[in-house]
Amino acid sequence: MLIGTMNHPERNALEEIAWMSEAGMEFIDLTLEPPGAASWEVDTGAIRAALERNRMAVVGHTAWYLPMASAIPELRAGAVAELKRCLYKFAEVGAKWMNIHPDRNTPWHPRQFFIDCNVATIEELLPDVARTGVGLMIENLPGDYNSAPQLAELLDRVPQLGLHLDIGHANLQVPHNTTGEILAAHGKRLRHVHLHDNKGGHADLHLPLGTGTVDLCRCVQALRRCGYDGTITLEVFTPDRHHLLYSRDLLRQTWNECGETAAAQRA
Ligand SMILES: [Zn+2]
């Protein structure tokens, strides 16, 4: 299992890689978002060289606000264009997977409309997925894409699509954290994980691990039970990096101590 974190979109990606490497992060969850890391401005050659120099891996993350399902065709085409450009940029830095955030911002339309639009956008990207070798994975989001059946509406229609599980999101707007249910249904398609804490309800607080109501031990057990041993991004938003370092240590310790039995049960 590799532990990493995300660059701040306001800052220069190369400077972000420098401090992450010093903090012992094993990969960067590279988000291509303006103003600091716009897909049309980043120096992918320099980023790739910095990652190689620091022996860090990379996972691709795109802006969460792209109108992938817009009812206005020109806006949806804009989202397709941006996501296409990101696929090539991520191939250039050496990423194998790129996340996307399913859209639902289509007032006055039924759910099926925005599901169909998301699928159409994803299908339009598939030729470039094949060309670049960078796969697509969808992130669960509180509200409309946070349960196993809701995610199945997209995953069942596009077999190549991977799952990107955000365990913090799985704790929001639900009676119980949906991590176990999502992994039981779609665990074989899991490609990447985001981890952060919150107190349930609606507030996506992105707190340090152990400071909210996410049961870290249970979630680690669920991941290890389905055989996951990949990248986990600490999506902890804090100006004080000690909180990030504490989260890193707590995750490593929980993975080893709490996850062993689950991994053994699987074997
Ligand atoms: Zn996330």
Tens-digit pLDDT profile for residues 210-239: 999 999 999 999 999 999 999 999 999 988
Separation of 124 CA from ligand 1 center, angstroms? 24
Which pLDDT value is given to residue 259? 76
Question: Residue 266 C-alpha to ligand 1 middle, in angstroms?
Answer: 27
Give the pLDDT of residue 264. 77
Collapsing DSSP to helix, strand or coil, 194 comes out as strand
CA–centroid distance, 45 to ligand 1, in Å, is 26
- CB contact at 8 A, 30 and 60: yes
Amino acid 267: pLDDT: 60
- Parallel/antiparallel/unpaired status of strands 2-6 and 27-32: parallel
Distance from the alpha carbon of residue 194 to the mean position of ligand 1, in angstroms: 5
Quick one: average pLDDT of 182-210?
97
- Per the CB < 8 A criterion, the answer to whether 231 and 57 are in contact is yes
Q: Record the tokens describing residue 251, joined without a space.
A: 């995750």
Query: Residue 217 to residues 73, 118, 203, 204, 213: CA-CA distances in angstroms?
Result: 44, 34, 22, 20, 12
Q: Give residue-wise pLDDT tens across range 136-171.
A: 999 999 999 999 999 999 999 999 999 999 999 999
The answer to whether residues 158 and 119 touch, using CB atoms and an 8 Å cutoff, is yes
